[in-house]
Amino acid sequence: MVILKKHPPITSWQTLLEEEMYVAEDSGPVVHCTLSDEEMKEEFDFGFGTSKGKPFTAWTEDRVYFPAVYDGAEWVNSAPRNPCDESTNHVGGQ
């Protein structure tokens, strides 16, 4: 009998940022980020437990991106960079 180990969910801020930019319909580019390109590409376990991703803020012409967390699960969230009529949902839970 072979027992398979369950692997933790591994990703990078770069991957999660790209996903959030897609959802936000933001074609970029990122004009500034507080982490280097290498730091954004570092992989970490983004699943439940404790936060593992480094803090960051990234800006495009239209949006500001930042880490969000709930019970240790991490993802990228964003808000409009300029005043508009878009409401922001609660970050970190429903």
Of all residues in the chain, the percent with pLDDT exceeding 70 is 89
Hey, CA dihedral for 16, 78, 66, 89, is it positive or negative?
A: negative
Q: Which residues of 34-72 are buried (b: 16+ CB within 10 A; e: fewer)?
A: ebeeeebeeebbbeeeeebbeebebebebbebbbbbeee
From first to last of its 94 residues, the chain has per-residue pLDDT tens of 555 555 568 999 999 999 999 999 999 999 999 999 999 999 999 988 888 999 999 999 999 999 999 988 999 999 999 999 999 888 886 5
- Note the pLDDT tens digit of each residue in 37-64: 999 999 999 988 888 999 999 999 999 9
